[in-house]
Chain A
Amino acid sequence: MSEVSSHRGALLSEKTLENIHHCNKCGLCLAACPVYREVLLESLSPRGKVQLSRKLLEGDLEITPRMREILSQCLLCGSCVSACPSGVQGDKLFSGLRWRAIQRFGIEWKKKILFQLLAHRWLMGGSTRVARWARSAMGKSLGEGMRLGALPLSRLPDFNPEPFSKEVPEVTQAKGEVRARVLYFHGCATNYIFGEVGRAVVDVLSEMGVEVITPKRQGCCGIPIFLSGAREDSLGCIEEVLEEFVREGVDAVIVDCATCGSAFVKEYPHILEELRELGEKVDEDLVEKARILASKTRDVMAFIGDHMSWLPDMSPQGPRLRVTYHDPCHLLKGQGVGILPRKVLAGLPNVEFVEMDAPDACCGGGGSFQVEHPEISSKITARKIKSIEATGACVVATGCPGCRITINAHLDSEKHIRVLHPIELVKMALEGGSS
């Protein structure tokens, strides 16, 4: 696919522009926006950004450095979209304009470091050697106690000794009666960092009578790159995913990462349609594939929740773990999945489920947001940590590697609270334990 020319014609598609005119400026989004709640500045509120975007698109404002700064101060959590009575899609608008701002000014340097340190190595470095080298390089050049924005480097998780994709068989047979056949997209986080999540997905599903196909050829969903504004870079990833994951004869495409899931469910069709409308060559066939993938994709916890009766009997053993649940924005607001993971967790014999205050409030990570805007980010995260600690839980379950890293980096290590993917708790229950 050729590169999109920077300033040819409109900044964004007609559809996106029309959507802005639906903003009644009622301000209800202000209450929903985690960034506004901390800074109390209209210019950084969703309503403010929508109005400024309108001025920008009507030619009354330019993409100035301040404008780029304003656009960057958004977690792209989608809270404003859920709160908007008029259906304004703030997240799509802001990520679209970020893309234009990057074309104009390039990526901010701190974000560049993040992409080099993390993205490149997690997302594109296909071998463990690269990963190990990355960690040692980071350690040597930056030293102990260094922070990347709000993230202390020492609190970043270890890489898998071997990428998950190397250890997982291409086909994992169902145990007993075959009830369904699914494709499993494990994404980069599971591949390079949280291998145990991938093992849990495959084990639990096969216990439920599901045949799991994990295609060997799978890379990045492209969304972290896309959300940071670098749209064209993410296109290659999208094409690859569509080629591999739109197949006949499968019941669902399973994801364990909230962000990958919302990419498949929500972002892909939008990105492709938008680029096509802007004059880029995007085949209808590709858009159609994106629509099929969107309809087939199911978060692993939602899938289990849909088919609770397929779970084998689990007998309680040992003490129950007090578990609370954090709603990842890209799962709840991005895919509308919130009730099912709770239903599954509450039904586990090894779990005592407690709800935290404001479980759907953003953790403040927002991918590169915590690197670019550490002050705002830490304040938002501090609220989340407070809600978690107030529950007295020893495990926070959350189905997003981004939230997991952010929350884990800010938890008080003395309090011994672990962050796990809920699927890991299901696996523990199946194994009859609570460790």
Chain B
Amino acid sequence: MLSQKVSEELREIVGEEDYLSGPEDLMAYSYDAYLPDALPDAVVFPTSTEEVSSVMKVAYREEIPVTPRGAGTNIVGGTLPLRGGIVLCLTKMNRILEVNPEDRYAVVEPGVVNGDLQKEAAKYGLFYPPDPASLNVSTIGGNVAENAGGPRGVKYGVTRDYLLGLTVVLADGRVIHTGGKTTKNVTGYDLTGLFCGSEGTLGIVTSITVKLIAKPEAQKSIQAIFETLDGAGKAVSRIMASGIVPVALELMDSTVMKLIEESHRIGLPIDAEGLLLIQVDGSKDSVERETQRVAQFCRENGAKEIRVSREATDEEILWFARRTAFGVMARARPNCIVEDVTVPVSKLPAMVREITELAARHRVTVGVLAHAGDGNMHPLILFDKRDREEMERVEKFTEDLFSKAVELGGTLSGEHGIGLAKERFLNMVMTPETREVLRQIKKSLDPKGILNPGKFV
């Protein structure tokens, strides 16, 4: 509970309408897309950097925990207010402040929805590539905090690759500016890169300058179905070694394919082990050339069925299976966790096989979707969280999953972050010395430990 004085002060800062403390409203800010929940004492909706700074000054003085939040779509518990206190929700800071086509950048507030920025950029013939699956809901602020990626990551990278500068409110309320508006910028430490992916533990981002790029002239997709996973894996390696950089290179295993076929009947073979979906873009000529080559590589590696899109509508049809995959999986059981282990590209087939074996060993239903081009895999784990015994098996599966990924030279998370979900596995990938550096950084920026406490640091 916040004291009367503090709650009055906060109301004064953000305004009566932007301060919530009723039980129903608090409950609505007690969860994100991960399993557990935790109640805050108040939710505030600042509408400017100044308001954020004023809120932080009060919180710092009173040592009240503050958990920043956007749309709350992260799936690692990153926005759960574990120690109560204030949820600082940035959804109402949602203005696109500037789009500059000449210098190819945009300045946005953190509450701007990723998809809205993409649409705005497109009006200028420009392109903002990071495309997390939640792009129609998730905010740029949240994308920065989690360093979100997406299928286009293979060619275009992740959120961090598009950040030019940030305005950040520190734990004590001071406001700093990092980076600038230029692509090249080596003045001092790369603080922009530091705040990106810090999951709200180091500061609160209140303004973001992103790089925009020219929209490619054309794009095409190729769908290839393989009898064996090895064939699919070899095709991936062949494509990646050929010099072609696909926009997206997605893999789907037989569990996912079977479930999609059962509910949609789109003609996916139920005896195939893997499906690849590859997209290329660029000038019309090069897209044509690359499409032919990619199809050829798939054929050489045993693809038994290859489809190439001719028009935008075909594109939709080819991507249907991929887009519908999460829904089909999620409907099969009450709960679905999407894991995020990432391995070197060449280890992908081995990792998929490990996942299948582990799932069988722990008697857990797991389907695999993967951004195969960058080794980023999303095993979808299905269960009913009300069944304790099943939950235990899921836990054990997850633990073994991470061990295997690390064994193969990979890591815990490619694009979802650590948050609460993977905190206890951090030692698998970080030495005590490395973790100590994280703590020292945290301490120097947030000495009282009020920013998103209880998370990975």
A residues with a Cβ closer than 8 A to B are 18, 21-22, 24-28, 30-31, 40-43, 45, 48, 51-52, 55, 61, 64, 66-67, 70, 84-87
CB of B396 closer than 8 Å to a CB of A: no
CB of B244 closer than 8 Å to a CB of A: no
Within 8 A of A (CB), among B284-340: 326-327, 330-331, 334-336
B24 touches A24 (CB 8 A): no
Told that A26-B33, A41-B28 touch, could you supply 13 new A-B pairs with CB distance under 8 A?
Answer: A22-B330, A22-B334, A27-B72, A31-B137, A40-B45, A40-B94, A42-B29, A42-B89, A43-B27, A48-B28, A51-B27, A61-B23, A64-B23
Bound state CA distance, A52 and B28, in angstroms?
7
Residues of A within 8 A of B260 (CB): none
Bound state CA distance, A26 and B75, in angstroms?
8
- Whether A43 touches B24, Cβ cut-off 8 Å, given contacts A22-B331, A31-B115, A85-B327, is yes
Chain B nearest Cβ from A5, distance in angstroms: 26
B92 touches A30 (CB 8 A): no
The residue of chain B having its C-beta at the shortest distance from the C-beta of A19 within the complex is B334
The residue of chain B having its C-beta at the shortest distance from the C-beta of A27 within the complex is B73
Residues of B within 8 A of A25 (CB): 31-34
B330 touches A85 (CB 8 A): yes
Q: Contacting B25 at CB < 8 Å: which of A18, A43, A86? A: A43
A31 touches B113 (CB 8 A): yes
Chain B nearest Cβ from A379, distance in angstroms: 14
CB of B136 closer than 8 Å to a CB of A: yes
Q: 30 A-B contacts, Cβ less than 8 Å apart?
A: A18-B334, A21-B334, A21-B335, A24-B33, A24-B336, A25-B34, A26-B33, A27-B71, A27-B134, A28-B136, A28-B137, A31-B113, A31-B136, A40-B91, A40-B111, A41-B25, A42-B29, A43-B24, A43-B25, A43-B29, A51-B27, A52-B24, A52-B28, A55-B27, A61-B24, A61-B27, A67-B24, A70-B24, A86-B327, A87-B330
Residues of A within 8 A of B71 (CB): 27, 30
- Tell which of B27, B32, B34 has the most Cβ of chain A within 10 Å: B27
The residue of chain B having its C-beta at the shortest distance from the C-beta of A40 within the complex is B91
B91 touches A66 (CB 8 A): no
Residues of A within 8 A of B94 (CB): 40
CB of B388 closer than 8 Å to a CB of A: no
CB of B386 closer than 8 Å to a CB of A: yes
Residues of B within 8 A of A85 (CB): 326-327, 330-331
Bound state CA distance, A40 and B326, in angstroms?
25
B28 touches A66 (CB 8 A): no
CB of B22 closer than 8 Å to a CB of A: yes
B residues with a Cβ closer than 8 A to A are 20, 22-25, 27-29, 31-34, 45, 71-73, 75, 89, 91-92, 94, 111, 113, 115, 134, 136-138, 326-327, 330-331, 334-336, 384, 386
Q: Contacting A30 at CB < 8 Å: which of B27, B137, B336, B386? A: B137
Report, nearest first, the 10 A-B pairs whose CB atoms are least far apart: A85-B327, A43-B28, A31-B136, A48-B28, A27-B73, A86-B330, A42-B28, A40-B91, A31-B137, A21-B334
Residues of B within 8 A of A66 (CB): 22, 24-25
Residues of A within 8 A of B27 (CB): 43, 51-52, 55, 61
Q: Contacting A27 at CB < 8 Å: which of B25, B137, B336? A: B137
- Whether A51 touches B92, Cβ cut-off 8 Å, given contacts A24-B330, A31-B137, A42-B72, is no
Bound state CA distance, A18 and B92, in angstroms?
34
Chain B nearest Cβ from A165, distance in angstroms: 43
The residue of chain A having its C-beta at the shortest distance from the C-beta of B324 within the complex is A85
Bound state CA distance, A139 and B359, in angstroms?
70
Residues of A within 8 A of B28 (CB): 41-43, 45, 48, 51-52
Chain B nearest Cβ from A407, distance in angstroms: 24
Bound state CA distance, A21 and B330, in angstroms?
11
The residue of chain B having its C-beta at the shortest distance from the C-beta of A31 within the complex is B136
The residue of chain A having its C-beta at the shortest distance from the C-beta of B32 within the complex is A25
Residues of B within 8 A of A84 (CB): 327
- Tell which of B45, B326, B330 has the most Cβ of chain A within 10 Å: B330
Bound state CA distance, A87 and B327, in angstroms?
8
Chain B nearest Cβ from A343, distance in angstroms: 16
- Tell which of B23, B24, B138 has the most Cβ of chain A within 10 Å: B24
Chain B nearest Cβ from A71, distance in angstroms: 10
Residues of A within 8 A of B386 (CB): 21
Residues of A within 8 A of B24 (CB): 43, 52, 61, 64, 66-67, 70
Residues of A within 8 A of B384 (CB): 21
Residues of A within 8 A of B20 (CB): 43
Residues of B within 8 A of A51 (CB): 27-28, 31
Chain B nearest Cβ from A285, distance in angstroms: 32
Residues of B within 8 A of A61 (CB): 23-24, 27
Chain B nearest Cβ from A133, distance in angstroms: 42
Q: Contacting A87 at CB < 8 Å: which of B23, B73, B137, B331? A: B331
Chain A nearest Cβ from B381, distance in angstroms: 12
Bound state CA distance, A84 and B31, in angstroms?
18
Residues of A within 8 A of B336 (CB): 24, 86
Bound state CA distance, A103 and B90, in angstroms?
37
Chain A nearest Cβ from B24, distance in angstroms: 5
Residues of B within 8 A of A40 (CB): 45, 91-92, 94, 111
Bound state CA distance, A22 and B331, in angstroms?
7
Residues of A within 8 A of B34 (CB): 25
Bound state CA distance, A236 and B29, in angstroms?
41
Bound state CA distance, A70 and B386, in angstroms?
27
B137 touches A24 (CB 8 A): no
Residues of B within 8 A of A31 (CB): 113, 115, 136-137
Residues of A within 8 A of B331 (CB): 22, 85-87
Bound state CA distance, A38 and B117, in angstroms?
17
Residues of B within 8 A of A86 (CB): 327, 330-331, 336
- Tell which of A25, A45, A55 has the most Cβ of chain B within 10 Å: A25
Residues of A within 8 A of B72 (CB): 27, 42
Bound state CA distance, A86 and B22, in angstroms?
29
Residues of A within 8 A of B32 (CB): 25, 27
A26 touches B134 (CB 8 A): yes
The residue of chain A having its C-beta at the shortest distance from the C-beta of B26 within the complex is A43
Residues of A within 8 A of B23 (CB): 61, 64
Bound state CA distance, A210 and B34, in angstroms?
55
Bound state CA distance, A87 and B32, in angstroms?
19
Residues of B within 8 A of A45 (CB): 28
Chain A nearest Cβ from B15, distance in angstroms: 14
Residues of A within 8 A of B29 (CB): 42-43
The residue of chain A having its C-beta at the shortest distance from the C-beta of B384 within the complex is A21
Chain A nearest Cβ from B17, distance in angstroms: 10
Chain B nearest Cβ from A67, distance in angstroms: 6
The residue of chain A having its C-beta at the shortest distance from the C-beta of B386 within the complex is A21
Chain B nearest Cβ from A85, distance in angstroms: 3
Chain B nearest Cβ from A336, distance in angstroms: 15
Residues of B within 8 A of A52 (CB): 24, 27-28
Bound state CA distance, A61 and B25, in angstroms?
11
Bound state CA distance, A21 and B327, in angstroms?
15
A26 touches B335 (CB 8 A): no
Chain A nearest Cβ from B26, distance in angstroms: 9
- Whether A27 touches B330, Cβ cut-off 8 Å, given contacts A40-B91, A43-B28, A66-B22, is no
Bound state CA distance, A84 and B331, in angstroms?
10
Residues of B within 8 A of A42 (CB): 28-29, 72, 89
Bound state CA distance, A198 and B25, in angstroms?
46
Residues of B within 8 A of A43 (CB): 20, 24-25, 27-29
Bound state CA distance, A86 and B113, in angstroms?
22
